[in-house]
């Protein structure tokens, strides 16, 4: 099974680094760059807005969007269960198959609640898919950048990174521990909090664009009267 080969490569690298005195963790294995959960949340809100589809209103709707947009990273929890949070990151949860399964589950659940199947499916797929798109285009200095988009047909990682200034890329690099305790501590560090803040600012234009474009579209269609 190819996903097993990926785990085997990680284990071989850990043992090699440990033999060299590196503490059992490779440089790439211990770094996390863009995007964090902040970027995924913003991208999810933008995706929901751009599709023109609605989830529940208020805080419940916002929570639905944020959770769906960050759901692929639940694989960190799977890794935490076995004591290595990073080892299973960007595996089967970062695939088109996972996006389709989650969208189908959400659509079925909402249909039973008396809501339309099609709009719910498209919204859930857009939210989940926004996560996959960001992970494909943002840099990640781990063993395999990008995501195995077409798994299980192939475990080839699709990767089309956006160029970032070297200084910014270095700043956005969060050294992540690979035990549950060190992993949590690294995300609560002052550096990580600064990265979350800067990343939020970097992605704000995307959110603004997501608000402006639907309004412009509705005005062009005559749904919103032009001010005089």
* C-alpha count within 13 angstroms, C-beta hemisphere, residue 183: 17
52 vs 135: which has the higher pLDDT: 135
Angle between helices 37-51 and 58-70 (to 10 degrees): 120
Across all residues in the chain, what is the average pLDDT? 78
Which one of 3-12, 60-69, 122-131, 137-146 scores highest in mean pLDDT? 122-131
Q: What is the pLDDT of residue 227?
A: 57
Kindly report the pTM of this predicted structure.
0.78
Q: What is the pLDDT of residue 144?
A: 55
Q: Write down the domain spans for the chain.
A: 35-210
φ/ψ (deg, to 5) at 92 = -60, -25
Confidence of residue 12 (pLDDT cuts 50, 70, 90): very low
- 112-148 tens-digit pLDDT: 766 788 888 999 999 999 999 999 887 665 545 789 9
6 vs 148: which has the higher pLDDT: 148
CA 113 to chain centre: 28
Q: What is the pLDDT of residue 101?
A: 97
Residue in 18, 3, 17 with CA at minimum distance from that of residue 155: 3
CA distance linking residue 60 with residue 108, whole number of Å: 19
In this structure, what DSSP letter does residue 175 have?
E
Listed range (2-6, 69-73, 210-214) with the worst mean pLDDT: 2-6
Locate 167 and state its tokens.
Answer: 């200084």
Q: What is the pLDDT of residue 126?
A: 94
């Amino acid at each position: 099974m190819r996903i097993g080969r990926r785990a085997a490569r990680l284990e071989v690298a850990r043992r090699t680094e440990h033999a060299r005195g590196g503490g059992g963790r490779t440089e790439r294995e211990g770094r996390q760059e863009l995007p964090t959960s902040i970027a995924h949340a913003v991208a999810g809100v933008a995706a929901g807005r751009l599709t023109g589809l609605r989830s529940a209103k208020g805080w419940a709707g916002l929570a639905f969007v944020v959770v769906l947009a960050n759901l692929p990273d639940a694989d960190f929890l799977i890794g935490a269960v076995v004591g290595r949070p990073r080892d299973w990151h960007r595996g089967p949860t970062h695939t088109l198959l996972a996006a389709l399964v989650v969208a189908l589950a959400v659509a079925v659940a909402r249909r039973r609640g008396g809501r339309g199947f099609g709009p719910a499916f498209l919204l859930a797929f857009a939210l989940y898919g926004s996560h996959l798109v960001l992970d494909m285009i943002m840099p990640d200095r781990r063993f395999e950048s990008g995501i195995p988009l077409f798994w299980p047909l192939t475990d080839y990682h699709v990767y089309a990174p956006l160029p970032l200034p070297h200084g910014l890329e270095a700043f956005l690099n969060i050294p992540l521990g690979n035990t549950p305790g060190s992993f949590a501590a690294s995300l609560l560090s002052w550096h990580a909090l600064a990265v979350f803040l800067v990343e939020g600012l970097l992605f704000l234009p995307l959110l603004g664009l997501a608000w402006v474009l639907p309004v412009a579209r509705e005005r062009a269609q005559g749904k919103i009267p032009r001010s005089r």
